[in-house]
């Protein structure tokens, strides 16, 4: 394997786990609140506005953890998002989005990967628990070799670096962590058939226990390097071990409800090259 160098300082932070220190509130007209001395953040949505925050740091690779408790009750039309994103017209993005639903129906856990401004790589899952009853950990592992989505340390999706077969892969643009709670009743619930019930507002989602201790923080203008030799084990991860692979197969067999790689109606001319290379899903 050839040695890979990236022009950044790989600063593995000792996360303060404090929203005051780690994040900026970017919109919401008072709808985003930092509580419990910085250890809890809540976002709210009403008819006037949603709300959101973003990390002070930018990252180029890392393993990022956040605990979320989603909007309870009738959350149809709402979307709680938690994702990494760069800037510009050819941005990269790694998405968790949680699509609300009518009371008693399951949430949809929506994932997507955008490279150089192009997405259309959605996979969706039902959670195997009630994501509104308690906090659960949602993690993104982003290495030069693969992107892995985890829920409570169980892998649910793997997107490999397949640049060798001309599949674009996010590896050059630093990204910030973003989160928001917003109204998407034009598409989010049953394709927009179910509208947001504003009599239930304000809707609230909660966040805690952010951890970027394995995040490689981007420092622009630095001459240092983050390399395969100086980084922890996740940096060189190319595939899951056998135990994790079995968990991935269990989730995808029992809880996957949409996979772009098998959507012939949406992609009648065929799917992205990564689908054929890795096999659906």
Whether 93 is catalytic = yes
Catalytic residue among 97, 163, 238, 246: 97
Catalytic residue among 93, 122, 238, 274: 93
**DSSP for the chain, written as a single string:** ----EESS--EE------HHHHEEEEESTT--EEEGGGTEEEEEE-SS--EEEEEEEEEEEEEEEEEEEPPPSS-TTEEEEEEEE--STT--EEEEEEE--STTSPPEEEEEEEBTTB----EEE--SS-TTTS-EEEEEEE-SSEEEEEETTEEEEEEE--GGGT-----SS-EEEEEEEEE-TTTTTGGGTS---GGGPSEEEEEEEEEEEEEEE--TT----EETTTS-GGGG--S--HHHHHHHHHHHHHTEEEEGGG-TTT-TT---HHHHHH---
State the burial class of residue 104 (Cβ atoms within 10 Å of its Cβ: 0-12, 13-18, 19+).
exposed
Please count the CA atoms within 13 angstroms of the CA of 23 that sit on its side-chain side: 28
Write out the catalytic residue numbers.
93, 97
């Amino acid at each position: 394997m050839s040695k890979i160098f990236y022009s950044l300082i790989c600063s593995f932070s000792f996360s303060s786990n404090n929203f005051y220190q780690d994040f900026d509130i970017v919109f919401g007209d008072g709808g985003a609140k930092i509580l419990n001395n910085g250890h809890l953040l809540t976002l709210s949505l009403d008819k006037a506005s949603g709300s959101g925050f973003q990390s002070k740091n930018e990252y180029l690779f890392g393993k990022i953890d956040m605990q979320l408790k989603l909007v309870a009750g009738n959350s149809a039309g709402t979307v709680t998002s938690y994702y990494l994103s760069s800037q510009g017209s050819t941005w990269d993005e790694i998405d968790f989005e949680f699509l609300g639903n009518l009371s008693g129906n399951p949430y949809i856990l929506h994932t997507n990967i955008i490279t150089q401004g192009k997405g259309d790589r959605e996979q969706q899952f039902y959670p195997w628990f009630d994501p509104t009853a308690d906090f659960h950990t949602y993690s993104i592992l982003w290495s030069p070799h693969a992107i892995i989505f985890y829920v409570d340390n169980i892998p649910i999706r793997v997107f490999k670096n397949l640049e060798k077969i001309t599949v674009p892969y996010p590896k050059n643009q630093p990204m910030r962590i973003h989160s928001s709670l917003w109204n998407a009743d034009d598409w989010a619930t049953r394709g927009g058939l179910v509208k947001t019930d504003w009599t239930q507002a304000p809707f609230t989602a909660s966040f805690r226990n952010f951890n970027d201790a394995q995040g490689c923080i981007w420092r622009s203008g630095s001459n240092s390097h983050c390399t395969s030799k100086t980084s922890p084990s996740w940096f060189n991860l190319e595939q899951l071990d056998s135990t994790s692979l079995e968990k991935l197969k269990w989730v995808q067999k029992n809880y996957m409800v949409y996979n772009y790689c098998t959507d012939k109606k949406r992609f009648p001319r065929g799917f992205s090259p990564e689908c054929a290379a890795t096999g659906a899903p």
